[in-house]
Amino acid sequence: MLAIALPIGFGLIVLALLLNLYRLLRGPTLPDRALALDTMYINAIALIVLYGIATDGKLYFEAGMLIALIGFVSTVAVAKYMTRGDIIE
Amino acid sequence: MEHLIIAPILIPAFAGMLLLLEVRERQPLRRLTGLVSALALIPVAVGLYLRAAGGDILVYQLGDWAAPFGIVLVLDKLSALMVLLTSLLALPALIYASRADDKRGANFHALFQLQLMGINGAFLTGDLFNLFVFFEVLLIASYGLALHGRGPARVKAGIHYVVLNLIGSALFLVALGLVYGTTGTLNMADFAVKVRELDGGALELARIAGLLMWVVFGLKAALFPLYFWLPATYANATAGVAALFAIMTKVGVYAIARVQGLAFLDGPLAGLGRDALWVLALLTLLLAAIGVLGARRLGEMVAYLVVMSVGTLMAGLSWGSPEATGAMLYYLIHSTLVCGGLFLLADLVARGRGKLGDQLVAGPAPAGRSGLAALFFLGAIAVIGLPPLSGFMGKVALLQTVPSPLYWLFLLGGGLLALVGMSRAGSTLFWRATGDGRARRLDRPRLAATVLLLSAAPALAIWGESVLEATVAAAAQWAQPGLYIEAVLGGGA
Amino acid sequence: MSRLLPFPMLSLLLWLSWLLLNGFSWGHGLLGLVLAVVLPLGTRPFWPNVPRLRDFPKLVRFVLVVHWDIITANVVVARLILGSPRKLRPAFVELPLELTDDFAITLLASTISLTPGTVSADVSEDRRTLLIHALDMDDEAELVAQIKQRYERPLKEIFEC
Amino acid sequence: MNLAILVLLPFLGAALPPLAERLRAPRTALALSAALMPALALALLIGPAGQVFEGRTVQDALSWMPSLGLTLAFRLDGLALLFALLVLGIGLLVILYARYYLSANEKAGRFYAFLLLFMGAMLGVVTSDNLLLLVLFWELTSLSSFLLIGFWSHQSAARKGARMALTVTGMGGLALLAGVLLIGQVVGSYSLDQALASGDLIRASRLYPLILVLVLLGIFTKSAQFPFHFWLPHAMAAPTPVSAYLHSATMVKAGVFLLARFYPMLAGTDLWFDLVTLAGMATLLWGAAAALFQHDLKGLLAYSTISHLGLITLLFGLNTELAAVAAVFHIINHATFKASLFMAAGIIDHETGTRDMRRINGLWKYMPYTAVLAMVASAAMAGVPLLNGFLSKEMFFAETLQSSRLGAMSWVLPLGATLGGVFSVAYSARFIHDVFFNGEPVNLPKFPPHEPPRYMKVPVEILVALCVAVGVLPAITVSGLLAVAGSATLGGELPEYHLSIWHGFNVPLLMSVVALVGGVAVYSLRRWLYTQYDRLPAINANLIFEGRVQALARAATALGNTLRNGSLQSYAAWLLALVALVLLVHLSPAAIDGTRGLLPLDGVALLAGAMLVVAALITAVLHRHRMTAIMSVSVVGLVVSLTFVRLSAPDLALTQLSVEVVTVLLLMLAMYFLPVRTRMESGVLRVSRDLLLSVVIGGGVGLMAFAMMTSDFQTISGYFLDNAKPGGGGTNVVNVILVDFRGFDTFGEITVLGIAAMGIYALLRDLDLLSARSDSVGRPWARDAHPLVLVTISRPLLPLALLISVYIFLRGHNLPGGGFIAGLITSVALLLQYVASGVEWVHRRMPGDYHPVVAVGLLLAGVTGLGSWFFGHPFLTSTFDHVHWPLVGEFELASAMLFDTGVFLTVVGATLLMLANLGKLSLLDDKKGGA
Amino acid sequence: MDQVVEFLVSAAILVGGVFALVGSIGLARLPDFYLRLHGPTKASTLGVGGTILASLLFFSWQERALQLQEVLIALFLFITAPVSAHMLAKAAMHRDLKRREDTRGRPWKQ
Amino acid sequence: MEAMVAIMIAVLVGTGVYLVLRARTFPVILGITLLSYGVNLFVFISGRLALDQAPIVGRGPATDPLPQALVLTAIVIGFAMTAFLVVLALRGQGETGTDHVDGDADEGGQR
Ligand code: NA
Ligand code: NA
């Protein structure tokens, strides 16, 4: 059962990533692209967690945790750049 | 285990760190720290050289891990010679910079020390990836130093310098990937052993790895067509920095010599890229000589002289015989010290001419004209290769050991072009002076530093035989990679 | 005690996190404890205003409610997204705030963003109004009331009097 | 007696006059200080001279650079003695003369110093017994004469003349060096002695023509032989004592000296005859004819010198022993009369203020004594009987009659010789008539001229006396010296010859008569000749040469600028083209010959790969939209991280992810000051070139990657896997490599990071940057600088992130993680505080200078490394132990952890030093702009 | 592996995957930025949540002990994701991005 | 999988090269970044590819750890260099008023 669910899960998330990429490419505005990138980061977490299940190991858990913890900082920086120009004032 | 071997790396490293710790910007303290370190390097380097001159190749296994698994430092005659040369160049350059230039920006002394760390590391390491790391150390420090001070020209030149070297670093990594991917090792000696056993596709890849290394080292050495960054970078750098940079191109030459001597003297890749290097070296020589002739600033002229020396050296190296390499090393020592001195001299001249700086146009005579003129005359004679100074000995040695009509033509013809260029420059700066400029006295420590470096020319002539014997001995050892390999892989393990 | 543990909740969170990360052992329990004390102390200057937790059980309840809402509303939102975009009724809604504590306001804003269908878009300079964007809003008053009742009130009880 | 000391004396002497000048010695004392060493040398020469006259060759050698074949070897034979006497003797006279010639305000000390340097060099040339040493001194004469010619450096003519002389003779010197090296190659030694004995070997060598041409290039340039003669007249810009010395007796004679010196080595072949005779004849005629038309006194003498040098050269070219002796004889004679003439010309210049013969007339009335001296010397130059010039010219005429090498054309030589004689007489006549008679002076700057100071005439008197003495009593005065010099030149027995005034009525005498009569006739036709000459286009060698040099320099600058055009992209293109070339030439698909089994490709990997490809391409295509490009690069970074996850590299994934965040922060900080869009700037051609390079290099690297991945190899990495735990105390092999096996790399790496931070700090200090006052669409910036939600969330995130840092750090040795990643997490958490709350807010809460953090980090790593010294181990040797504590249980303590702490601190310090300072930039900007 | 656990894990994976996809579909197809903002911040959190739940179950079963590390991912994500959304919304309002005409209320001037 | 990775490397290096050759500092920075990604991957794969074989002792078969350590070092150094270049570009912008680097001839002429 897991042998079927996992590939499907991978497929769904990769599909999601591709849609994110489409939005990033398409825009049309900068916030759209930033949002797309942010979403990609989040989907990447899902991918990494799934990979952990698939390989029966927890070596990659930290990678997911890292994204969750500090991945948003780049989104914040981009957003702040858009509103204030200066991200560290 | 002789800890002295690592001292040329650790002394400036720790000095640099301590300088960084000194947050209150007490310039005298910083100068003292820097100068003490630079001074300390000289006896250390002399000591190391004397050890190496005995004929043994000394290996220092970092972390006590045996080669090829750990990183080793290797002290042979060649590396000892280069470390010694660096220390001899560094002290006057630092003295010169410590008069005032060091205050024109932040962190000068720390950067200077760490630059020395990088240079010495590159000379001593016996590991290819570690060579990459030390390249990066010396590069990043040199970026900082090249940009020390201010001015758009300096920044522009700096950007060129930095970007080209970043591309160079990327290429170096590709080469290292290929080295590891084909031979499964990073230790130079081990690589030398294993590359001889390759065949088929792996051999093809190893060949490309070697050639890429030549490109990367050629960029550092400033070979045609990779030297274009150099004139602006060097001519725009602070004088003491430019003087220190005189050794930087030699790091490239050394790296080629080192890898070639170990891995490509014989075996399936014997003489790798030698013909191409030969042609490029000759072109470098010629184009740099033309550059000397066409230079419009003294600093630029000296920078081209540096490039010219690289062409001269690389041709000598790519000739491939131990004798030619010995002569090349003598010339290397000469050109490094003399060009370093000329950079300082150019700055002394520029300082005395006010707004005109070192531009080669008639203007007020610089302060201390006759003294400067005499120094310029001396330096020019030396660097052009006229007797009775070291340049002449070096050129004769090269001409004797590289019996190629083409080389003779380029070397002598290049010398002639440089003669024309430098005589014009000297005539314009010192003879065509429109009245004496500001009557300020020359700064004595600056003058002393300049004289110290330029005095290499007579010194290397007077004691030429000892120096030449030393370089020939270093080359002889270089030409027997077996000794090195045995010392690294056989002994300590 | 408050000198040593300026933010007990944070310390607890840190300690629990440490144990989550490393699994439970005496060693890690001890080390986690050290960290749970040292880290808040070290970062003390970064917390100018201390949010005081008044009611721990209510906090647990609140967390559970939010999670439940996330799950249920997710289904709703999924349907909206997959359905025809024409049917969506987007709206900007201004939510008058009763909360006054920065931390509590932030929690409310985050909660609103986490629960499907709404995103908190801005907090007014005077911190009296929260701007919310809703994906599909039926009735503004109803939405405001729902948020106030489900999230703001508990938060007020948890953090303020 | 040590010959080396003899040569050294003038060099030592060069130090005295400047010293004396510094001590404000009077002019006479200055001159005496200059004369001291040459006089001493002359005295010391007496001893060895005696030996030479006894037929011995005095030799002396010191070792210098034996590996080069360069020894300080000297020899004194007849030829060397002759020249040594000329150099020292005339040198002393010139010093005496210069005492009066130089005006009080000139730097006489320097002048004498240069003169003595030259003297020493010249002495070295003539006494060298080592070919390389000879070249060395040869070049020294060029250099010191450069200084002498340019002595009046305020005059443009002097500067240009000096440079021209140096360039031409310098070129010759290089050729000579090449020639000498080839001789050394053939002979197997640079000993002159051996080389002289190996004449047959050299002439038989395949290299002989090349050697000859190179050596002759040196000789001809130095001796101003056609077509290299043009520099000499312009060297007349030198003070007259210099001309009297260099251009009569010494420097230009160095060339003919070498002809004599190398005569036994190189002469005797047809090629020698053709080259040397031809050049000599051309020079003889050209110089003689041109001399007549000079209005400048020194110009006349200069061309006359050229002509006489041609004569001497021609004689050497004739390949007969007698001709060689005649040549040596003429060297002596020319030196004496020409030096005296130069001095006389200098006196006239000195007294009248001009050297223009059109203005100088009738000086007989004003300075009869000088006139007599000059007229005698001129007569000697013309070859009038009873004067020394007559004797050698007679021998010259005779020798031209003997040659048969030209076969039926042999008459050309005597004819040319006679013609040369005719002109020689004509210009000598002019020197006498035009200067001392020919009416009254015209408009002299100094009037009336009178006799010079007494002692200024002494040198001229001595020289003229010598002319007469030799001319009248050759057998007594000069024959001994000529004999030893001649035999030394020939390197063997002298031929039969007689130095006598009267040889009877013979063809040479007839030629002399023709020359005298013809010369007078030509001179009487001078007005017509001058008008004819003036119709010829004027050629100013100085202008031409200077023009050539300038054109060359301009071309050089232009070429330099073409190559080094200031375009980073063209430099980068050269670099990358070189790489492309390497790949195109050496990489073939055949490199893919591995047999390693391939890993299966799954859909996820395929799609992820496609994502990377698309994102990279977007970056390249949309790079002008900078923000978009930054985001697409982030996607690439993300996929690369995921690739590391997939390909078993968790440490790399973590590192890549955290570096990514910091990089984006960095770029966003920078974007505040940079344009948002890049203008379209590249043309189609440029884009195609770049695309080509991209495809070749990208494709090549990809191909190599594939070749590598598909082939098996032997690697040392098994050692690391085996020893990580037992030797390094950690199970995360990557980390153990980083902090232990290859800790030195890491030490260097964090140093790089630290230096970069320092360099960035330095770059940012007082950087003036205009920041954008509004966003890219022109809207003013938002008011809310510190959004509440962001600020509030950033607070608890700091301790949380620190906790995670500790976690990542501690597990690093055994599981993915380590100091570097931990450091980055901490940095990001701290940076978030900056972003959320601003620099000032943060700096009120923690120190803002991160230099010490970097320093402490680096020092910690370094000191940890040093620690192993105390246990007798090399730098960075690690140690670890398992410790058991009650309650806590067993845990490991490793020195590598300490090292890793250093890494951690360095990373935090460096990252913050970089980014916080970059963030602070805008504060400066605000203060400045008051916005 | 126990069928039940396996089923639960599989279900969680599928739920996670589906919601991740749905969120991204929203991002891709919704007509204005403010609408698109809802997709990822909602669905992706549950998307990740699903996979994390799967992972928790899977490893806890595997190790026969409660494995809750992954909870931290969710915790961090729940803390940080709203901030991203909030900041992006502010950016969008600052830029006065087009919104669907029938949107009620108005964004605030920044 | 190998072909996929090779293509990724090729594209990264290729786009990196292309961007490095643009006329302004900003695309050059991007180019260097992409180039670094490509090159890091290249060094990484010199240890050959392996799935689920992280080099942790005691977890069964392990891939080659050495290239990973090398790449880690390269990433750090690359980050330092990129940061320096970015700030240098700012300095250039500040001192020359432009980030154009495809310069005019004759800059050796003046200081
Ligand atoms: Na800022
Ligand atoms: Na006259």
C72 in D contact zone (CB under 8 Å): no
> Which residue in E1, E70, E90 is closest to A83 by CB distance?
E90
Q: Residue C87 CB: number of other CB atoms within 10 A?
A: 8
> Which residue in D775, D787, D797 is closest to E87 by CB distance?
D787
Q: Is A77 helix (H, G, I), strand (E, B) or coil?
A: helix
Q: What percent of chain D has pLDDT over 90?
A: 71
State the distance from the centre of ligand 2 to the C-alpha of B229, rounded, in angstroms: 60
State the distance from the centre of ligand 2 to the C-alpha of D231, rounded, in angstroms: 25
The answer to whether B337 and B320 have CB atoms below 8 angstroms apart is: no
pLDDT tens-digit series, residues E56-73: 999 988 888 888 888 999
Residue of E nearest to D783 (CA): E110
Rounded mean pLDDT, C50-61: 83
Residue-averaged pLDDT of chain D:
91
Exposed e or buried b for every residue in B196-232, given b needs 16+ CB within 10 A?
A: bebeebbbbbbbbbbbbbbbbbbbbbbbbbbbbbbbb
State the distance from the centre of ligand 1 to the C-alpha of B166, rounded, in angstroms: 27
The answer to whether D34 and D112 have CB atoms below 8 angstroms apart is: yes
Rounded mean pLDDT, D375-400: 92
Q: Residue D121 CB: number of other CB atoms within 10 A?
A: 28
- Measured CA to CA in angstroms, residue E27 lies from A71, C84, D174, D279 at distances of 19, 14, 78, 92
pLDDT tens-digit series, residues D475-503: 888 999 999 999 999 988 888 888 877 77
Residue B493 confidence (pLDDT):
39
**CATH code: domain of residue A53:** 1.10.287
The pLDDT confidence band at residue D926, using thresholds 50, 70 and 90, is low
pLDDT tens-digit series, residues B22-72: 877 788 999 999 999 999 999 999 999 999 999 999 999 999 999 899 999
Residue F103 confidence (pLDDT):
60
pLDDT tens-digit series, residues B78-120: 999 999 999 999 999 999 999 988 888 888 999 999 999 999 9
Q: pTM above 0.90?
A: yes
Residues of A in contact with D777 (CB under 8 A): none
pLDDT tens-digit series, residues D588-634: 998 888 889 899 988 889 999 999 999 999 998 888 888 999 999 99
Position A22 in a domain: yes
**CB contact set of B148 (below 8 Å; sequence gap of 6+):** B101, B104, B105, B108, B111, B237, B238, B241, D762
The answer to whether B323 and B472 have CB atoms below 8 angstroms apart is: yes
The answer to whether B48 and B75 have CB atoms below 8 angstroms apart is: yes
- Say yes or no to pLDDT of F111 above 60: no
Of B36-40, B414-418, D895-899, D906-910, minimum mean pLDDT range? D895-899
CA angle at residue D171 from D170 to D176, to 5 degrees? 95
D847 CA to chain C: closest CA distance, Å? Answer: 12
Give the chains touching B; criterion: ≥3 Cβ pairs < 8 Å: D, F
Residue F107 confidence (pLDDT):
35
The pLDDT confidence band at residue C2, using thresholds 50, 70 and 90, is low
Q: CB distance A39–E21 less than 8 Å?
A: no
Q: Which ligand is nearest to the CA of D431?
A: 2
State the distance from the centre of ligand 2 to the C-alpha of D432, rounded, in angstroms: 9
Could you give the CA distance from residue C68 to residue C63 in angstroms, rounded to a whole number? 9
Residue D924 confidence (pLDDT):
64
Running DSSP on this structure, what letter comes out for residue B409?
H
- Measured CA to CA in angstroms, residue B214 lies from B255, B273, B288, B486, D70 at distances of 9, 8, 20, 25, 35
Give the chains touching D; criterion: ≥3 Cβ pairs < 8 Å: A, B, C, E, F
CA D917 to chain CA mean position, Å = 44
* Partners of D71 in the β-ladder: D63
Position A32 in a domain: yes
Rounded mean pLDDT, D347-360: 92
pLDDT tens-digit series, residues B420-477: 999 999 999 999 877 655 556 788 999 999 999 999 999 999 999 999 999 999 999 9
- Say yes or no to pLDDT of B193 above 90: yes
Mutate to test the interface with C, among D792, D833, D883 (most CBs of C within 10 A): D792
Both ends of chain A: CA-CA distance in Å?
53
In chain A, how many domains are there?
A: 1
The domain segmentation of chain F, as residue ranges, is 2-49+64-96
What ipTM goes with this model? 0.95
Residue F108 confidence (pLDDT):
34
Task: Write down the residue that tokens 């003038």 correspond to.
Answer: D10
> Which residue in C10, C18, C102 is closest to D796 by CB distance?
C10
pLDDT tens-digit series, residues D654-685: 999 999 999 999 999 988 888 877 776 778 88
Residue D347 confidence (pLDDT):
93
Residue-averaged pLDDT of chain B:
93
Of D142, D218, D236, D139, the closest CA to residue D542 belongs to D236
Q: Which ligand is nearest to the CA of D672?
A: 1
B357 in F contact zone (CB under 8 Å): yes
Residues of A in contact with F56 (CB under 8 A): 59
DSSP, residue by residue, C73-136: HHHHHHHHHHS-GGG---EEEEEE-----HHHHHHHHHHHHHSTTEEEEEE-TTSSEEEEEESS
Give the chains touching C; criterion: ≥3 Cβ pairs < 8 Å: D, E
pLDDT tens-digit series, residues F41-99: 999 999 999 998 999 998 889 999 999 999 999 999 999 999 999 999 998 888 887 88
E101 CA to chain A: closest CA distance, Å? Answer: 18
Rounded mean pLDDT, D136-150: 95
The pLDDT confidence band at residue D930, using thresholds 50, 70 and 90, is very low
Could you give the CA distance from residue D191 to residue D180 in angstroms, rounded to a whole number? 11
- Say yes or no to pLDDT of E44 above 60: yes
Residue D673 confidence (pLDDT):
86
pLDDT tens-digit series, residues D109-133: 999 999 999 999 999 999 999 999 9
E20 CA to chain D: closest CA distance, Å? Answer: 15
**CB contact set of B127 (below 8 Å; sequence gap of 6+):** B67, B71, B72, B186, B187, B188
pLDDT tens-digit series, residues B162-190: 999 999 999 999 999 999 999 999 999 99
Position A27 in a domain: yes
Residue E1 confidence (pLDDT):
64
Position A67 in a domain: yes
Rounded mean pLDDT, D317-339: 94
Rounded mean pLDDT, D821-848: 92
- Say yes or no to pLDDT of D418 above 90: yes
Q: CB distance D796–C110 less than 8 Å?
A: no
| Domain housing A13 | 2-84
A35 CA to chain E: closest CA distance, Å? Answer: 7
pLDDT tens-digit series, residues B338-365: 999 999 999 999 988 888 889 999 888 8
Residues of B in contact with D156 (CB under 8 A): 432
Residue F36 confidence (pLDDT):
96
Rounded mean pLDDT, D822-832: 95
The answer to whether C128 and C96 have CB atoms below 8 angstroms apart is: yes
